[in-house]
Structure 1
């Protein structure tokens, strides 16, 4: 007569475990959107295509790189009228948008963007450029899973010009988040896995694509995908499960969008 009780407890335990996993699963996306222009059709905007893709993926968070804000370059794609790329994407995807300015550009700004399903408070960190060149930033939000586990989602775009800058920026990212748990940082890091900058990041972060895929998919360029420079990194001080990582074959930008599903498990 005891067997049914034991079986019921086992079933309840499995159902509880599955429920907890579902609550703590995040779908995240990273996409360098080529300042809102079709990379292979000069003069044509990619806003509608990018927003449709985001709706299709249905992520909890999106990290956007090469984001224009009220620039002349955007205005040229919109009958001469400047607009906010992040705000427009947020409206079209029914998400909340955040913009982190890195530089002034053509009467507006250029930098990082984030989208989230729920409204959260964003923070920006400027990254070092010891070699000079274009200023760079990291943008992040803090939230909680449905079960109440805190986490941070961040996006960044490291220097495309100098390895010295990328090394310094990787070190700054490590330092800023070194005391935090459950941190996901996504973006265009402009380094390949054989670089010193990648090795510097690996001191503190796990490469989600390496955990899931062997070998990981290339992310650049769309026409000739032979380099991996877009990543999702997970903080080592946390207990992660990587369910899926994929690069989506769409030609709206010169980069492939990267999408991942991860579970945040409780740590001791």
Structure 2
């Protein structure tokens, strides 16, 4: 009975506009579970994610037992609130724990990879950055890659990182969703490169930073041609739990 209910819930989550199968995905830079004034908002973030009914969520700026965020395993806490499966990979060790990227999924996670993205200006703390990639099986679609990145601040490095992401997705030869805080606006070369090979599912005219009076579109959701989908709805909810706004998109198949 429990298994049957789980299957029914999963398929219910696949129904979107027009009763066609689809999924709702989110990209959210959670600023180590704090708002712009450094007030702890981790539980509020979890409740918000739960309320959206998103099936796949990519999170940037996640702490794992770091002193600045109360030594909490943030992905474990968010998974407990949302009832979702989770994965975490580190960019680097930080404050007694790790700082990195997380993924929440309504579907069981089959595989987790920490793909290293280059930094042209590494330092004693940062030698490279993480591209977290998981594999999930989505009903009516099959095995899908779900990848999440947080690109660097300098333009030359971001362009190299965009090339590395595209090379990786091409090599894997699977339907893929790629998202993240890419620290670049739509007209910049690194985003134009991604747009030349991927379909953007989030709005290019929907700014997500800063939270109050947002001016910059720097958080994105893309998918490749193997996914055979189309975006049918995209929004940037005005929630002030971080220094970024979340990006939420429904992809229909």
Corresponding residue number in structure 1 for 2:187: 194
Corresponding residue number in structure 1 for 2:5: none
Corresponding residue number in structure 2 for 1:6: none
Please report the TM-score for the alignment, with normalisation by the length of structure 1. 0.82
Corresponding residue number in structure 1 for 2:169: 177
Corresponding residue number in structure 1 for 2:211: 222
1:70 Cα offset (Å): 0.7
Corresponding residue number in structure 1 for 2:107: 118
Structure 1 outlier segments of 4+, above 4 Å:
none
| Partner Cα distance (2:163, 2:147) in 1 | 15
Please report the TM-score for the alignment, with normalisation by the length of structure 2. 0.86
Does residue 127 (structure 1) correspond to residue 117 (structure 2)? The answer is: yes
| Partner Cα distance (1:89, 1:189) in 2 | 23
1:203 Cα offset (Å): 2.7
The worse-fitting range, judged by mean Cα deviation, of 230-239 and 99-108 is 230-239
RMSD: 1.9
Corresponding residue number in structure 2 for 1:26: 23
Any conservation in 1 of the 2:202–2:247 contact (CA below 8 Å)?
no
DSSP 3-state at the match of 1:30: strand
Any conservation in 1 of the 2:22–2:251 contact (CA below 8 Å)?
yes
Gaps of 5+ in 1: 1-17, 76-81
| Partner Cα distance (2:144, 2:86) in 1 | 18
Give the total of aligned pairs: 233
| Partner Cα distance (1:176, 1:22) in 2 | 33
Give the number of the structure whose alpha-carbon radius of gyration is greater: 1
Among 236, 244, 249, which residue is 1:247 paired with?
236
1:131 Cα offset (Å): 2.7
Gaps of 5+ in 2: 1-14
Corresponding residue number in structure 2 for 1:57: 52
Any conservation in 2 of the 1:150–1:182 contact (CA below 8 Å)?
yes
1:239/1:39 Cα in 2 relative to 1: closer, same or farther (>3 Å)?
same
